[in-house]
């Protein structure tokens, strides 16, 4: 009796279970394909036309939809879940269905001015080869250096060093150096017919940076103002002396000329030494005090600014 009842109980339990699961199990011939990332299920089962025609169409479709949705939800529940703010949330995987473009594809951008020019001229993009150290040239360079050291002459800093490939800039620089290595620093050297004048020659003017040292700048300006403030003219002794000497020489030669004109050649010999010795002493220039008005004070006469 007890065994019977236990079997009964078990059977009943099973039946109950089956009952419960019935609502969520669905039987299909072909399994559905799922793309959980997009929450999509593809049902490839054939639709029974006879069944479709027999039943009411609405009911048939509804039951079909219900079954497929059930399968989709079952599939969703298979994925890992997490609890976010008291709500159970399923972490969706990556979508597998490729979707078409949302926006039209980008149009090819118009070629830049350089690209057009390059196409026109047929310029190809040339990759610069990695520079490799030339052993032969290295030997040559070291040989020259040794010679220079032995003979104690300087190696030319700029010029043609014996390497195989000279770049255009190197050659140009060498030419310029060679041209200006004359007694008059290249001033009277003729240029070749098509040679262009070298640019970027002349003293390059250096400017202080915009935000330099402020205290330095202030100090410099204050010093300048102090110089402007002081009333006496600043005397540059060297300049004054040189100027004075030049003037003396000029006076002397003028006097000599006049004297030579009057007395003839005879008296001309002893004109030089007597006056010249006395005149050229530095004490005389110092004694003049102010000397020629040099220096930076021009504040009195700015004229119409």
Partner 1 sequence: MCDTFLLSVHSIGENIKHLVDRPDGTYCFRLHNDRVYYISETILKLATNISRGKLVSVGTCFGKFTKTIKFRLHITALDFLAPYAKFKVWVKPGQEQSFLYGNHVLKSGLGRITENTNQYQGVVVYSMADVPLGFGVAAKSTQECRRVDPMSIVVFHQADIGEFIRSEDTLT
* CA atoms within 13 Å, Cβ hemisphere of 119: 6
Look-up of token digits 């057009």: 116
Angstrom distance (rounded) from CA 146 to CA 261: 64
Nearer to partner 1, 74 or 294 (CB): 294
User: Does 24 contact partner 1 by CB under 8 A?
Assistant: no
Nearest to 167 by CA among 195, 128, 194: 128
Nearer to partner 1, 155 or 227 (CB): 227
User: Does 135 contact partner 1 by CB under 8 A?
Assistant: no
Among 14, 217, 247, 249, binds partner 1 (CB under 8 A): 217
The set of residues, in sequence order, having a beta carbon less than 8 Å from that of 118 and lying 6+ positions away, is 124, 125
Among 211, 266, 270, 278, binds partner 1 (CB under 8 A): 211
Please identify, among the stretches 38-46, 147-155, 164-172, 209-217, the one whose residues bind partner 1 according to the rule CB under 8 A.
209-217
Among 93, 95, 293, 298, binds partner 1 (CB under 8 A): 298
Among 49, 87, 150, 210, binds partner 1 (CB under 8 A): 210
The set of residues, in sequence order, having a beta carbon less than 8 Å from that of 72 and lying 6+ positions away, is 32, 34, 39, 41
Contact track, partner 1, 220-259, x by CB under 8 A: -xx-xxx-xx------------------------------
Q: Rounded to the nearest 10 degrees, how much is the dihedral formed by the CA atoms of 125, 131, 136, 140?
A: 110
User: Does 205 contact partner 1 by CB under 8 A?
Assistant: no
Beta carbons of 5 and 45 less than 8 angstroms apart: no
Q: Write phi, then psi, for 35 (nearest 5 degrees).
A: -125, 85
User: Does 296 contact partner 1 by CB under 8 A?
Assistant: yes
Count residues contacting partner 1 (CB under 8 A)?
A: 21
Q: Report residue 205 as tokens.
A: 């003017």
User: Does 305 contact partner 1 by CB under 8 A?
Assistant: yes
The set of residues, in sequence order, having a beta carbon less than 8 Å from that of 67 and lying 6+ positions away, is 26, 28
- H-state helical runs in 158-297: 168-180, 214-229, 237-263, 272-279, 282-287
E strand or H helix at 204: none
Among 109, 127, 154, 304, binds partner 1 (CB under 8 A): 304
Beta carbons of 296 and 227 less than 8 angstroms apart: yes
Please identify, among the stretches 90-98, 213-221, 244-252, 264-272, the one whose residues bind partner 1 according to the rule CB under 8 A.
213-221
Nearer to partner 1, 85 or 229 (CB): 229
CB of 302 to partner 1, least distance (A): 6
Site for partner 1 in 86-115 (CB under 8 A): none
User: Does 300 contact partner 1 by CB under 8 A?
Assistant: yes
- Residues of this chain that bind partner 1 (CB under 8 A): 210-211, 214, 217-218, 221-222, 224-226, 228-229, 296, 298-305
């Amino acid at each position: 009796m007890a065994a019977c009842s236990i079997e009964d109980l078990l059977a009943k339990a099973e039946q109950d279970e089956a009952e419960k699961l019935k609502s969520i199990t669905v039987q299909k011939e072909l399994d559905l394909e799922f793309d959980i990332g997009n929450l999509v299920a593809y049902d490839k089962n054939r639709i029974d036309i006879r069944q479709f025609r027999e039943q009411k169409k609405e009911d048939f479709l509804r039951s079909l939809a219900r079954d497929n949705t059930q399968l989709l939800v079952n599939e969703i529940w298979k994925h890992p879940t997490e609890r976010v703010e008291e709500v159970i949330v399923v972490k969706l995987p990556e979508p597998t269905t490729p979707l078409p473009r949302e926006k039209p594809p980008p149009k090819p951008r118009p070629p830049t001015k350089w690209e057009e020019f390059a196409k026109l001229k047929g310029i190809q993009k040339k990759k610069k080869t990695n520079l490799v150290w030339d052993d032969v040239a290295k030997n040559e360079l070291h040989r020259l250096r040794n010679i220079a050291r032995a003979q104690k002459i300087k190696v030319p800093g700029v010029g043609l060093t014996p390497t195989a490939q000279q770049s255009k800039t190197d050659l140009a620089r060498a030419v310029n150096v060679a041209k200006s290595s004359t007694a008059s620093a290249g001033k009277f050297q003729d240029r070749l017919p098509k040679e262009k004048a070298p640019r970027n020659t002349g003293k390059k003017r250096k400017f202080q940076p915009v935000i330099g040292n402020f205290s330095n700048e202030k100090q410099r300006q204050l010093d300048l103002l102090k110089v402007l403030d002081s009333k006496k003219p600043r005397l540059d002794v060297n300049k004054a002396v040189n100027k004075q000497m030049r003037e003396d020489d000029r006076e002397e030669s003028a006097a000599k000329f006049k004297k030579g004109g009057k007395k003839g050649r005879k008296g001309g010999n002893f004109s030089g030494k007597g006056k010249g010795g006395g005149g050229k002493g530095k004490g005389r220039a110092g004694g003049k005090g102010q000397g020629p008005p040099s220096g930076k004070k021009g504040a009195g006469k700015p004229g119409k600014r």
